Amino acid sequence: MKTKLILLYGGKSAEHEVSIQTAFSVINALDLNKFEANPVYITNDGKWVSGPEITGKLGFSEQLRFSPEDTLKLSEKEGETSTGYAVSPAAISGETENTVVFPLLHGPNGEDGTVQGLLEVLDLPYVGNGVLASSSAMDKIVMKKIFADAGIPQLPAVAVRQIDWREFKEEMLTDMEEALVYPMFVKPANLGSSVGISKASNRKELEAAMEEAFLYDRRVVVEQGVVAREIEIAVLGNDTPVCSVPGEILPKGADSSFYDYKAKYQDNDTTLVIPAEVTDEVLAKLKDFAIQAFLGIDGSGLVRADFFVTEQEDIYLNEVNTMPGFTPVSMYPLLWQASGLPYDKLIEQLVELALERYETKSKLKHSLED
């Protein structure tokens, strides 16, 4: 019997377009002899639209944009069939037997534990991290506190609230300059894919970077810059996770020290070196810190751990991503491909891990009665 795979993508997030690219890639990699592919598109304004079952390869990603408005127009014409229909989020729980949800959502309202919480309430197995791991890893400020408690090395950083920035801007700028040195990197606390992130080399740039980041979040983290290599490790599993080979990002754009959204998704102006050349000692530390980070947030399924490695081989954990880029040319799948697990098999492994976690949780007691 086929596994019914409900693919959630789009979402009310600045990473909406990235999510559609991810869904397109995953759907085209599915073995449709094993899976029944059911797309559910979440529009920019948060409407859920169920599309028709995918029965073959898609030609382009725009085929995955379904509109409830177009559906209503089509349904008014006799003899025409719709390509999608509006659903409530709870509607996906109608048939739970042999069903797995695959949230292919990046950023807020998808990767931050909100959708995961909904799926928990609906009692559906789903791919990837749970509520705690998703929410804590999405919030860069909370994440740093968890990793600091675990003793994982990180670069110095300052957290700033929008209300404090508006009322005490000059004082906040002075505090940042006293705690950190230029260059600094300014990031919205709850976004991924480098959205809203800027590099600041002086006070004028720092102020502009803060204003940009606050367009996306009411909390911002300002981090110390460092001259270092960007090395990433992919983690896969549940209670006994394993690590991939390491990979290195080499941006080639105007600012080769900053792997921003444009470099990631628009210019293709980067080189990914897989496996990255690191010493055995550095690799052992990278894997140890990656596993510690995964377990520290109570991860499940998949995590990509991003590190800085200096010329002196000092290692700093930059962040972890609980729903990393997941197209065939994204770092996470490429790391596993280089480790012997191709893209289509990686997807199948993640579905198996989702079912494993669901089965484990279903055995827990939910009543004080015997």
Q: How much is the pLDDT for 238?
A: 98
Active site residue 82: no
Please pick, among 13, 15, 50, 136, the residue that the annotation labels catalytic: 15
- The answer to which of 20-34, 148-162, 181-195 has the lowest mean pLDDT is 181-195
Asked if residue 18 is part of any domain, the answer here is: yes
Work out the average pLDDT over 153-159: 96
Of 35, 120, 47, 129, which Cα lies nearest the Cα of 87? 47
Say whether both 120 and 179 belong to one domain.
no
Q: Which of 19, 50, 244, 330 is catalytic?
A: 330
Q: What CATH number does the domain containing 247 carry? A: 3.30.470.20
Q: Do 202 and 273 share a domain, yes or no?
A: no
Q: Dump strand ranges (E) for 155-200.
A: 157-161, 184-188, 198-200
Percent of the chain residues past pLDDT 70, beyond the cut: 87
Please indicate, yes or no, whether residues 146 and 263 belong to a single structural domain of this protein. yes
Confidence band of 94 (pLDDT split at 50, 70, 90): low
Domain presence at residue 55 = yes
Quote the pLDDT of residue 19. Answer: 93
The pLDDT value given to residue 88:
65
204 and 112 part of one domain: no
Same domain? For 142 and 280 the reply is yes
- Residue 146 and residue 89 share a domain: no
pLDDT at 82: 44
Q: Which two tokens stand for residue 303?
A: 């995590």
Whether the pLDDT of residue 137 is over 90: the answer is: yes
The reply to whether 296 and 332 lie within a common domain is yes
User: Would residue 131 count as lying in a domain?
Assistant: no
- pLDDT category of residue 89 using cuts at 50, 70 and 90: confident
Domain boundary among 199, 224, 249: 224
Residue 107 lies in a domain: yes
Residue 239 has pLDDT above 80, yes or no: yes
Mean pLDDT of 218-236: 96
Residues 204 and 240 in one domain: no
193 annotated as a binding-site residue: yes
Residue 156: what residue type? P
- Tokens 């959205």, residue located: 195
**229: annotated binding-site residue?**
yes
Q: Which of 224, 241, 257 is the last residue of a domain?
A: 224
Instruction: Look up 193 and say whether it is catalytic.
Output: yes
- Residue 1: pLDDT band (50, 70, 90) is confident
Neighbours of 81 (CB within 10 A): 9
User: Is 318 assigned to a binding site?
Assistant: yes
Residues 284 and 143 in one domain: yes
Confirm or deny that 136 is annotated as ligand binding.
Answer: no
Residues 62 and 46 sit within 8 Å (Cβ to Cβ): no
Residue of 50, 134, 136, 193 marked active site: 193
Residue 23 sits in the same domain as residue 119: yes
Phi and psi angles of residue 334, each rounded to the nearest 5 degrees, phi first: -65, -35
Predicted confidence (pLDDT) per residue in 174-224, tens digit: 999 999 999 999 999 987 646 789 999 999 999 999 999 999 899 999 999
d(CA 6, CA 11): 15
Residue 120 annotated in ligand binding: no
Indicate whether 364 belongs to any domain: no
Whether the predicted pLDDT of 310 surpasses 90:
yes
pLDDT in tens, 247-283: 999 977 545 455 444 444 444 567 999 999 999 999 9
Residue 218 sits in a domain whose CATH number is: 3.30.1490.20
- Which of 224, 252, 270 lies at the terminal end of a domain, its last residue? 224
Which CATH number does the domain housing residue 106 bear?
3.40.50.20
Q: Do the domain assignments include residue 370?
A: no
Q: Quick check: is 15 catalytic?
A: yes
Range of the domain at 289: 138-153+227-359
**What is the total count of domains within the chain?**
3
- DSSP for 18-55 reads HHHHHHHHHHHHS-TTTEEEEEEEEPTTS-EEE-PPB-
Q: Are residues 49 and 88 in the same domain?
A: yes
368 domain residue, yes or no: no
Banded model confidence at residue 79, pLDDT cuts 50, 70, 90: very low
Q: What is the pLDDT of residue 194?
A: 67
Asked if the model's pLDDT at residue 330 lies above 90, the reply is yes
Task: Determine the Cα angle at 54 with ends 51 and 55, to 5°.
Answer: 145
- The angle subtended at Cα 258 by Cα 252 and Cα 261, nearest 5°, is 90
| Residue 87, marked binder | no
352 or 256: which leads in pLDDT: 352
Instruction: Say yes or no: 149 and 292 in one domain.
Output: yes
